[in-house]
Structure formats: structure tokens, C-alpha cells
């Protein structure tokens, strides 16, 4: 809970001893290449850990032991994964050049069990997926578990979903199918039922040091003066009185999720060990959940503190020493300028996460749909810093969480608007509270009409598609659906499709889930993968066939030979407020009409006429080289060259 030291103990001595311990654990045949890795990644690891913990007693001994453990984990890495590491090390931007398309799902909602997910691989391949993010599947606390994010054991699978052997089998099958598995690693907290928490509550001083515990309210009240609240209605405040702990425990999210004390070196070592053990089971990407909250400092919001970035850089270095083909993805739902820091800045540039969620793009696109003009996404993209080499954005339309409106505060402020008023109107529209709205979402954790926190709902419900799989497909609603996905596909390094969206599934209205939805509104966007929708898709009928066809067309366009996968994104100024026009390098142009009226487009004026071709279109009329007419919510992708 204090600032990390600027420098640790003798850095050179620490590095040399750590290097010896790491290499001693590896077979002789691998030591030469491992030594080269340590001379790069190991240098960063020692530097960052020294800055974080060098002032603590026994640091050098702790560091040497930890590096010896990294060596053991590297020696234990299976041969198939080591070979994969080698191929990816030769092309660090492999995931960008591969033009990956992701899919995100809960195991039980998508396949029932881990083995059941394996049975869905053909469905994923037909869609074009080569990146699968399975939301928390490790054993969670009993009862309320924040959707599995209250982890009770990092070494066990949730019993209803399978066992560790099933995870091994699934990662092997996915790898064979060319699909990388992404798993959540919850960094900030563990469940109150986790062995660490249970031992702390039983009086173990070593485990008590894993958590932030206060004997009275003096310091918690001081911290609360500057802290925000993640769930202001369901879990107000950031501290919970735990009698067994003899005081107040820091609980940023829910009272049953105890924040870990990352100022204590053994906490870092324990989390690093968890990550690498799962990597050795075949997990290829880790979503670092709740990363911004890892460091506590009095007088701040305890979000995005500088030490957070040192922790992530050190974790990245651990990965490079053990499983260099593995990617780290930052889950930082904060304004875009703050998110971009998770790629690394200054001496850490390109040294933290390779991927980060572009939550601002998602929220701004929904706001634009509600407002009927593209001001917010245009402004946001114009201000989005370019990721460093071999890094990129995760873009998405919906996810398991709510639309977090707070990420748009800087954009609304820059536009001179009142956040609560402007975004409150957009939220009301998407929640179906505005006369004439096509959307059917719901508010989340919003205390009243004068405030806005989040909105829930599946994509199909928010864009106005029928909730009947065999119902008529409204062309305007389908264009809205395509518009949002096309923008995510255009901007992202890895666009992510949310479970059920490929089938146009509506909000979760299952009677069996009614209590869950009432307790936590995010369950509105967690329906079971619909058998009726799958049947409709197989028959080529209704909403599922329309949405699936649209997404596969986007996947195909994005993988076309003319798609500039490694090109930067820039916004084109345009007089029409409804249009968002975005270039990728100088060879591709994406045009997105958020207005409720037609837009006439002069392609020659955009320098995208002669010599350019349509790569993808939705709601676009005209086939000449110079003009197009875009219907409301239309999309047009143009590329230089003949398609």
C-alpha cells in the first residue's frame, strides 16, 4: 500500500544470481537459447521486480528462488508447446498477420462442459474463428461467484464443467483445429473460499499478508474519499468487515472477493506460477482481469497506478522466459488513453500486454447508434494512440459485461457536453425507454434518472432484430447489426464475436435464469446457446441464417488478400455528421453510416474511386467508380486493387 522503491538492491548481482538459478533448472541442450532469453526478458524481470520489491527484506534470496521456479516451469513445458513458441517467436506479430477472429463464451452456456466445447469446434471453424475466449472455468466459490470471477481454486476446474484432464484434451483439440484458447486470469482478487483466504481467516500470518486488512475504519474511510465504486448498487463501498480477520478487508468488487496485496512479493510469485502452469496446459492467451486495480495508494483512485505497469511488465517477462508464444491481454475498462498504457510506455513500450480491449470504441459505437450521428466514435478513434509493433486492439460489439458508459467521459467532456445528460439519453434509447426506440436493453447499476452507469442486452435486442429465430428479418435491424460488427472488424487486431450473437440470439428470458437476471442484470446477455437458433441456421432460415451469413462475409472480407492487416487506422474528416470514415493505411477505406437517413458518397473526393473495389457492402446502392448511396446504418469497405 506504499510506493515501490525507485531502485532495488544491487541490480547486477541480483541479475547474475537469478540468471544462474534459472538456467540451472534447464536441460543443458536448452541453456544457450534460454540464456539469450534471460539476457533480454530476464533483465526486464529483475529490473521491474527490484523496483517493486527491492526494499523488502530478503529480496535477493526471494528473487533467486523465484527465477529457479521459472526455470523448472520452462523445463516442464511440453514439447508441442515449445515448438509452437519457436514458430511464434520468429514472427512476434503472428496474431496480427493471421487476421484472427475471436469468439467469447461461457463454457456452460456454450457447450455445457469443457468436453462439450470440443464438440462445438466445427461450429467455430464454420464461423471462421481461430481465437476462443472461454470465460472463467476454474473452480469458483459456491453460490454467488460474480459469474465465475470469484475464483476459489486456480488448480481445479469448476466441477460441473469437467476436470484438468478435460482442459488438456480441449487445448490439444483446439490447437489441432488452429484455434488459440484464451482464459481469464483474475489478478486483483480471490474468493473468500480460496485456500489463501481461508488460511488467512484461520490465523496464518503468511496468508494474512496476501490481503489488505485494517483493524478499524480509519484507513478505509481515508481511502474511500478518493475511490470509485465498481458496483455502486449491488456492492457499495470498497471494504468488508470480516470478523474472522478481526477487521476490514479490501473488497473492490464484491464482499466475497478479497483484493490481493501485490506490494507483498509472494503474491506476485503465486500469481505468476498460476499463469505459467495454465500456459503449460495449452492456454495460449490470458485475459488479465481487473488489472488496473492491483496497486493501492492513499489519496488516489487506486486505478492505473504506475506500479500496475511494472507488475504487468514483470509478468510478461515471466511468460517470455517460460512460454514465449503466449499472449497477454489487458482487461482495463477505462478511458482509451488510459487503456493504451497497457501496451507499455516509455522504457516499457511493447513490454506489457500484446492485446487490450478497446472498450471506448464499443461504447461510442452504441452511443452513435442511439444518437444517429458518428461524433463520439470519430472523436475517439482520432485520439486513439497507435499500438506499438506486435500489439493490437481487441474490438467487440457485446460481451458478458454491461456497456460501461464511464469510459466515454473524456470524449463527452471534450465535446462540451454534460455526461449524465448526453449519455443518459443514449442509454435510455438503448434500454427502450425512449418513444420510438428499436432497442430492448436494460439499465445496470444506474441509481436514478440523473445518473448513468451501464446498460445490458444482447446485440440482437439492442439493434431491434426479432426475438423469434424464425421471425421475419427486419432489413434495417440487420444493417444495424452489421454496422457495429463491421466497425469492430475494421478497427481491431482481433475482433471478438460474443456467444449467440452469430445466431442473432435475444436477451436471456429463460425462466430458469429469472432469479439470476434479477440479482445481476448482466445475466440478460448470458443465454444458453439456442438449439432452436442452431436448427434455424442449419435450415438456412430466419434471423440466425441472416446474422451468421453476415458475419462469415465479414470474416472472408477481412481475410482477403487486399486487407492490410498490419496497417494503422486513421479517421477521415467529412462534412456529413452521420458518417464515420476510417482508413487502414493508404490501401483500404471503411465507411459507416450511423444516421437515420441516406448518405450520398463521392468516392473520387475520398481518393477511393478509380483503381479501388468494393470489398464488403451492406445497404449500399450504386456500382460506379465515383458514387455510392448509403442507406441508414449502411457499411462499405473499399480497397485499392481488384477484388
Range 603-611 contact pairs with CB under 8 angstroms and sequence separation of 24 or more: 603/627, 603/628, 603/638, 606/572, 606/581, 608/638, 608/640, 611/640, 611/641
Q: Quick check: is 331 catalytic?
A: yes
Cα separation, 267 vs 53, whole angstroms: 11
Which segments of 204-268 are extended strands (E)?
Answer: 213-214, 239-242, 247-250, 257-259
- DSSP track, 341-382: GGG--GGGTTSS-SEEE-HHHHHHHHHHHHHTS-HHHHHHHH
Q: Which residues contact 335 (CB under 8 A, 6 or more apart)?
A: 360, 407, 408, 409, 410
- DSSP track, 430-456: HTT-STT-----EEES--STT---EEE
Cα separation, 349 vs 346, whole angstroms: 5
Cα separation, 474 vs 504, whole angstroms: 12
Cα separation, 478 vs 595, whole angstroms: 15
Torsions phi, psi for 398 (to 5 deg): -140, 165
Question: To which H or E segment does residue 618 belong?
Answer: strand 612-621
Which segments of 160-266 are extended strands (E)?
Answer: 180-186, 189-191, 213-214, 239-242, 247-250, 257-259
Cα separation, 522 vs 440, whole angstroms: 14
The residue from 289, 375, 402, 501 that is catalytic is 289
Q: Helix %, strand %, coil % for the chain, to 5?
A: 45, 15, 40
Torsions phi, psi for 242 (to 5 deg): -120, 105
- DSSP track, 313-341: HHHHHHHHHH-TT-EEEE---S-HHHHGG
How many CA atoms, within 13 angstroms, populate the side-chain half-sphere of residue 323? 26
The residue from 146, 192, 284, 331 that is catalytic is 331
Dmax (CA) of the chain:
76
Cα separation, 516 vs 507, whole angstroms: 13
Three-state DSSP state, 621: strand
Q: Which residues are catalytic?
A: 289, 331
Amino acid at each position: 500500500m506504499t510506493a515501490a522503491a525507485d531502485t532495488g538492491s544491487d541490480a547486477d548481482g541480483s541479475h547474475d544470481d537469478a540468471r544462474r538459478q534459472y538456467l540451472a533448472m534447464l536441460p543443458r541442450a536448452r541453456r544457450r537459447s534460454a540464456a539469450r532469453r534471460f539476457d533480454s526478458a530476464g533483465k526486464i524481470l529483475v529490473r521491474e521486480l527490484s523496483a517493486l520489491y527491492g526494499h523488502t527484506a530478503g529480496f535477493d534470496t526471494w528473487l533467486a528462488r523465484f527465477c529457479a521456479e521459472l526455470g523448472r516451469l520452462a523445463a516442464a513445458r511440453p514439447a508441442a508447446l515449445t515448438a509452437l513458441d519457436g514458430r511464434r517467436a520468429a514472427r512476434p506479430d503472428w496474431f496480427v498477420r493471421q487476421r484472427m477472429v475471436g469468439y467469447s463464451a461461457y463454457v456452460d452456456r456454450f457447450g455445457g462442459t469443457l468436453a462439450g466445447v470440443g464438440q462445438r469446434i466445427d461450429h467455430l471453424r464454420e464461423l471462421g474463428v481461430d481465437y476462443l475466449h472461454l470465460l472463467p472455468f476454474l473452480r469458483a466459490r459456491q453460490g454467488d461467484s460474480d459469474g465465475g470471477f470469484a475464483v476459489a481454486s486456480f488448480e481445479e476446474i469448476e466441477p460441473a464443467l469437467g476436470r484438468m484432464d478435460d482442459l488438456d484434451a480441449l487445448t490439444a483439440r483446439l490447437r489441432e483445429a488452429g484455434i488459440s484458447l484464451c482464459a481469464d486470469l483474475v489478478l486483483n482478487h480471490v474468493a473468500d473460499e480460496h485456500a489463501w483466504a481461508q488460511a488467512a481467516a484461520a490465523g496464518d500470518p503468511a496468508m494474512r499478508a496476501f490481503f489488505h486488512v485494517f483493524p478499524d475504519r480509519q484507513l478505509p474511510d481515508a481511502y474511500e474519499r478518493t475511490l470509485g465504486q465498481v458496483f455502486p448498487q449491488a456492492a457499495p463501498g470498497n471494504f468488508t468487515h470480516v470478523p474472522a480477520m478481526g477487521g476490514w478487508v479490501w473488497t473492490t468488487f464484491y464482499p466475497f472477493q478479497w483484493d490481493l496485496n501485490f506490494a507483498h512479493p509472494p503474491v506476485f510469485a503465486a500469481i505468476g506460477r498460476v499463469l505459467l502452469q495454465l500456459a503449460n496446459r495449452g492456454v495460449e492467451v490470458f485475459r488479465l482481469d481487473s488489472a488496473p486495480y492491483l496497486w493501492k495508494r492513499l489519496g488516489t483512485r487506486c486505478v492505473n497506478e504506475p506500479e500496475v505497469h511494472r507488475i504487468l511488465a514483470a509478468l510478461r517477462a515471466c511468460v517470455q522466459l517460460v512460454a514465449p508464444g503466449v499472449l497477454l491481454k489487458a482487461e482495463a475498462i477505462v478511458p482509451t488513453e488510459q487503456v493504451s498504457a497497457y501496451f507499455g510506455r516509455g522504457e516499457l513500450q511493447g513490454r506489457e500486454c500484446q492485446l487490450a480491449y478497446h472498450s471506448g470504441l464499443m461504447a461510442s459505437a452504441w452511443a452513435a447508434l442511439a444518437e444517429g450521428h458518428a461524433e463520439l466514435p470519430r472523436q475517439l478513434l482520432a485520439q486513439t494512440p497507435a499500438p506499438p509493433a506486435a500489439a493490437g486492439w481487441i474490438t467487440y460489439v457485446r460481451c458478458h459485461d454491461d456497456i460501461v458508459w464511464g469510459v466515454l467521459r473524456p470524449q463527452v467532456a471534450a465535446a462540451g457536453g454534460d455526461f449524465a445528460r448526453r449519455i443518459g439519453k443514449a442509454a435510455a434509447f438503448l434500454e427502450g425507454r425512449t418513444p420510438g426506440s428499436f432497442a430492448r436493453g436494460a439499465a445496470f447499476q444506474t441509481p436514478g434518472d440523473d445518473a448513468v452507469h451501464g446498460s445490458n442486452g444482447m446485440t440482437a435486442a439492442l439493434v431491434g432484430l426479432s426475438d423469434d429465430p424464425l421471425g421475419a428479418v427486419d432489413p434495417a435491424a440487420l444493417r444495424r447489426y452489421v454496422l457495429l460488427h463491421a466497425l469492430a472488424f475494421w478497427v481491431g487486431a482481433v475482433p471478438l464475436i460474443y456467444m449467440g450473437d452469430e445466431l442473432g440470439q435475444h436477451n436471456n428470458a429463460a425462466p430458469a435464469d429469472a432469479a439470476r437476471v434479477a440479482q445481476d442484470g448482466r445475466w440478460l446477455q448470458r443465454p444458453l446457446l439456442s438449439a432452436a437458433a442452431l436448427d434455424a441456421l442449419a435450415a438456412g432460415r430466419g434471423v440466425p441464417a441472416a446474422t451468421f451469413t453476415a458475419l462469415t462475409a465479414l470474416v472472408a472480407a477481412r481475410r482477403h488478400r487486399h486487407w492490410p492487416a498490419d496497417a494503422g487506422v486513421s479517421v477521415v474528416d467529412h462534412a456529413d455528421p452521420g458518417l464515420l470514415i476510417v482508413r487502414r493505411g493508404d490501401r483500404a477505406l471503411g465507411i459507416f453510416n450511423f444516421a437515420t437517413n441516406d448518405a450520398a458518397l463521392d468516392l473520387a473526393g475520398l481518393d477511393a474511386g478509380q483503381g479501388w473495389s468494393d470489398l464488403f457492402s451492406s445497404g449500399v446502392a450504386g456500382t460506379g467508380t465515383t458514387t455510392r448511396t448509403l442507406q441508414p446504418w449502411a457499411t462499405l469497405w473499399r480497397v485499392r486493387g481488384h477484388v
